[in-house]
Amino acid sequence: MKEVGVGIVGFGTVGAGVVEGLLTGAALISRRCGVSVQLRAVADLDITTDRGVSVPAGILGTDALALVAREDIQVVVELIGGTGIAYTVVKQALEAGKSVVTANKKLLAERGAELFALARERGVDLYFGASVGGGIPIIRALRDGLVANDIRAVYGILNGTCNYILTRMAREGSAFDEVLADAQRLGYAEANPSLDIDGFDTAHKISILASLAYGVSVPLNEVTVQGIRGLSLVDVRYADELGYVIKLLAVCRECAGKRLEVRVNPTLVPKTHMLGSVSDVFNAVLVDGSMTGDTLYYGRGAGRAATASAVISDIVSVARHVAAGLPREAEPLPSIEASGYALQKPEDCVSRFYIRLMVREACGMVGRFATILGNHGVSIFAASQHAATEAQCEAGYVPVIILTQPARAGDLQAALQEITEQGIVQSMPLSMCML
């Protein structure tokens, strides 16, 4: 059986999980893949902290770049994170003609185009299955399983922290700040939670999925991102009454005229929809393929073992390629312009919308709102006045909820602007996308 040498840079939580999985699963893995995957080196600046894994003598070291340069290592696994030394390690490995496995979504979203082009040039693999969806083999599904499909759309619940917060808000009726504080106490949210709750982590991931689905590099700063910070409990409740749950949904889809819509928004999802059943820290990705129709992939989006599972799966695939001298798959990612696609402008995105308007007096208001919305080309699907909370009553405002038919976001905003200017609502109405 052919041997392939593997070196791991980064011996933190995931790194230790990968080391453990490779060592304990060695027999299983070689039986399943026909290649002997040999862990030859692990590098980290900190090699004294006990990671709960016993590593054979001579494996652990501190010099990442020396590991990359070793001749008996054909596959380099980058598990450092960030875009500093991680970038250097990946770049030097690729330049040295080694295949790379990484779980670093930030690196891929920011430097992916350059690194994939380099991998292509050197004829090596750059695999990244753990960067989106943790243990869910979604990258593999898009790359191989749906190879015959034009991808019409990808919808994802991609951030476990957000989904955990949203699930608890809906289940317990607790306010955002309260649940966030609790999630931080429990270790489900970072001390600085911005990357998660403001949607940037989800944006990194949908950018990677877009690159796989459409073969283009989508610059992160062109993804429309809205997070869940400060989401109001009243909207969670009204959504529930209407049969919906609110999820932080990432969307990437092809629209008419070769336009790509790539965005992240809190979105009302029907409870009966498969994505509406995705609770707690779980992630899911729905892919609408031209031949398969909807397929969905669900599992833990994070965590040591789940992420390590995805990294090892990549290591095995890459090792089989190395053993066989297979032509590599890494494609260079053209820019949006070079691909013939254009990014859909946020105002041109079409969605059904949930609107909450706070009014002094509901009587006759739905008619006025409907007229203004209609003048802007926005049709109403349903409208209702919901029970006001105590605080709302004290403030002298009652909520009116309107659900629209599919409408242009720009048209909706213009209509809401006009409603606001007429002084018949407390403040600019709140609106959210609906699936």
Binding site for its own copies (CB under 8 A): 17, 21-22, 25, 28-29, 31-35, 129, 134-137, 140-141, 143-150, 215, 272-274, 276-279, 284, 289-300, 305-306, 308-310, 312-313, 316-317, 320, 323-329, 331
Active site residue 205: yes
The residue written with tokens 């504080």 in the block is: 181
What pairs with residue 36 in β-bridges? 3
Nearer to its own copies (CB atom), residue 120 or residue 229: 120
Nearer to its own copies (CB atom), residue 105 or residue 376: 105
CB of 274 to its own copies, least distance (A): 5
Residues near 145 by Cβ (< 8 Å), separated by ≥ 6? Answer: none
Nearer to its own copies (CB atom), residue 273 or residue 352: 273
Q: Residue 169 and residue 184: Cα distance in Å, rounded?
A: 15
CB of 298 to its own copies, least distance (A): 4
CB of 144 to its own copies, least distance (A): 6
Nearer to its own copies (CB atom), residue 298 or residue 353: 298
CB of 147 to its own copies, least distance (A): 5
Euclidean distance between the first and the last CA atom of the chain, given in angstroms as a whole number: 50
If you compute the radius of gyration of the chain from its CA atoms, what whole number of angstroms results? 24
CB of 422 to its own copies, least distance (A): 42
- Is 228 buried (19+), middle (13-18) or exposed (0-12) by CB count in 10 A? buried
Taken in order 189, 190, 194, 195, the sign of the CA dihedral is negative
CB of 141 to its own copies, least distance (A): 5
Q: Residue 131 and residue 68: Cα distance in Å, rounded?
A: 21
CB of 294 to its own copies, least distance (A): 6
Q: Residue 187 and residue 48: Cα distance in Å, rounded?
A: 24
Q: Are 4 and 319 in contact (CB under 8 A)?
A: yes
Nearer to its own copies (CB atom), residue 163 or residue 224: 163
Q: Residue 29 and residue 15: Cα distance in Å, rounded?
A: 18
Find the catalytic residue in 98, 105, 106, 205.
205
Nearer to its own copies (CB atom), residue 310 or residue 419: 310
Nearer to its own copies (CB atom), residue 102 or residue 404: 102
**Exposure b/e, 409-430, CB count within 10 A at least 16 = b:** bbbbbbbbeebeeeebbbeebb
Nearer to its own copies (CB atom), residue 37 or residue 425: 37
CB of 119 to its own copies, least distance (A): 13
Strands 282-289 and 293-300: antiparallel
CB of 411 to its own copies, least distance (A): 33
Nearer to its own copies (CB atom), residue 19 or residue 355: 19
The angle, 0 to 180 degrees and rounded to 10, between the axes of the packed helices 233-241 and 160-172 is 70
Which amino acid would we find at residue 173?
A: G
Identify the H or E element spanning 172.
helix 160-172
Using DSSP, state whether 9 is helix, strand or coil: strand
Sheet containing 60-61: order of strands: 60-61, 36-43, 3-9, 75-78, 99-102, 126-127
The two most distant CA atoms of the chain are separated, in Å, by 79
Q: Which of 91, 123, 119, 96 is nearest to 107 (CA)?
A: 91
What pairs with residue 255 in β-bridges? 259
Taken in order 268, 273, 274, 278, the sign of the CA dihedral is positive
Return the active site residues.
Answer: 205
